[in-house]
Structure 1
């Protein structure tokens, strides 16, 4: 059954809203970086309580995502399923990674990607609530 377009558009607009806010916060940090260092990539940190709440709403609780990758793997402790779900609009992409082990344990993680000014950014939320950002020139 096809998904209702209004539901899909709502999910993608949440992604876009989050992306615009992160883009503004990263522009200031990137302007201070040496361009030669960006060729190999740098790790940055973002700290913002409001961004943490927005991450929860726009990335983790965003229930519309398309399947982009699925694989069943055999491991020494049994089989498990790996799946990647993706939302994308313009320069913004959110991904949800799900692993389901044969023991029934489910592991979920999220990442947000941004392309801006010939730079790619990967943003992940740390358990502390801060954000880890990896930036590299394209």
Structure 2
């Protein structure tokens, strides 16, 4: 059964909402950096309550994502399934990584990616409520 277009558009608009705010916040942090530091990439920590609240709604609880990668792997502790789900619009991409182990353990992680003006940004939420941001030239 095909997905309702209105539901899909709502999910994409949430991604855009988060992306626009994140781009603005990251732009401020990156403008203070030495361009030579971005050659090999640089990790930053970003703390922002507004982004944190939007992350929950727009990235983690965004129910519409397309399957972009699925793999079944054998590991020393049994087989497991790895799947990546993706939402993207323009320079913004949200990814959800799901691993299901043969023991039944499920691990879920999220990332937000932004490509703008020759710079690639990868953003992940840390357990302490901050964001780990990796920035490098494309």
TM-score normalized by the length of structure 1: 0.98
CA apart distance, 1:45? 1.1
| Cα separation, 2, equivalents of 1:97 and 1:72 | 14
Match of 1:53 in 2: 53
Q: Which runs of 5+ in 2 are unaligned?
A: none
Could you report, residue by residue, the CA deviation over 1:65-112 in whole angstroms, capped at 9, with x for unpaired residues?
000000000011110000000000000000000000000000000000
Aligned to 2:66: 66
Match of 2:25 in 1: 25
Moved over 2 A (4+): none
The count of corresponding residues between Structure 1 and Structure 2 is 138
Corresponding position: 1:128 with 2:133: no
Shift, 1:29, TM fit: 1.0
Partner of 1:107: 107
RMSD of aligned residue pairs (Cα, Å):
0.6
1:80 counterpart residue number:
80
Give TM-score scaled by structure 2 length: 0.98
